[in-house]
Amino acid sequence: MRRPLTLGATLLAALVGASPTARAQDFATEASLVESDNPALNPYRTPQRFAFELTFGPYQPDIDGEFNGARTPYKDYFGSGQHLLTRAELDYQFWHRYGSVAAGLGVGYFSVTGTAPVANGTGLPSGDKSELKVVPLSLSAVYRFDYFLETRKFPLVPFGKIGLDWAYWQITDGNGNIAEGDGGHGRGATWGWHVAGGVALMLDFVDPDAARDFDTDLGVNHTGITFEYYHADISGLGEANRLHVGDTNWTLGLVLEF
């Protein structure tokens, strides 16, 4: 009986003798290992370094703008309507403080089909179809003001972008070959620049438990819907005789931050 009593007394003395600060630190360490069932009290989140966007929107390359109304080759062969531009962008977020700053690389795809001109160089329409493809690449500086999302769970995140563009384009004739005519070649690339602004609606508040599980299981910190309005001046950065393929328009899309 003496040995258990001695052991109990030793443990009691150790607990009593420990400083209040040490006991508080031990308790905080143990508590941090227990995951709260309340998302508002659960501070756990995986590191956030990237953002991925997939966006869709109307697009009409500003080919006719080069001629200041004297000619309208795009409208003549492809019509005046807008067609779908699909874009994907991957951002690397290298700074987090009162928002996030990132470098983004984007790629898009646009295609439209119209009436091909006849092969005699007159520019008159034929019965064949012609296709214009544009593949714009972009390098952007991106700022997202997500301070209130992180501190107050406010779901609206304004953002802005500015950067450079390089757009590959090609025009095919009725046989599917690169178009030739008037000394020109239906394939090339144009440099440009862009500026954009928008807002993202983060969907974490819709189902906080699912959002937390998405983070802990797959490392996705936030999921949202984006609206963006942009101006892209892809006309050669001062170079002459470059096909103008920029536009001023809007997009809707999905964003994942991880």
- What is the CATH number for 218? 2.40.160.20
Write down the pLDDT at residue 67.
85
Assigned domain for 172 exists: yes
Assigned domain for 43 exists: no
Full-prediction pTM beyond 0.85? no
Distance CA 257, CA 93 (A): 9
Q: What is the tally of structural domains in the chain?
A: 1
* Residue where the block lists tokens 């905080």: 28
Q: What value does the mean pLDDT take over residues 88-107?
A: 96
Assigned domain for 191 exists: yes
Assigned domain for 19 exists: no
pLDDT: is 35 or 127 the higher one? 127
Write down the pLDDT at residue 35.
39
Query: Which phi and psi angles does 112 have, rounded to 5°?
Result: -145, 145
- Type of residue at 154: F
Distance CA 209, CA 92 (A): 27
Percent of the chain with pLDDT over 90: 61
- Write out the residue range of the structural domain in which residue 173 sits: 50-257
Write down the pLDDT at residue 172.
87
Q: Which residue stretches of 33-166 are H helix?
A: 73-78, 147-152
Largest CA distance in the chain: 113
Q: What value does the mean pLDDT take over residues 156-162?
A: 98
Assigned domain for 28 exists: no
Assigned domain for 41 exists: no
Contact (CB, 8 A) for 46 and 221: yes
Query: Which phi and psi angles does 111 have, rounded to 5°?
Result: -145, 140
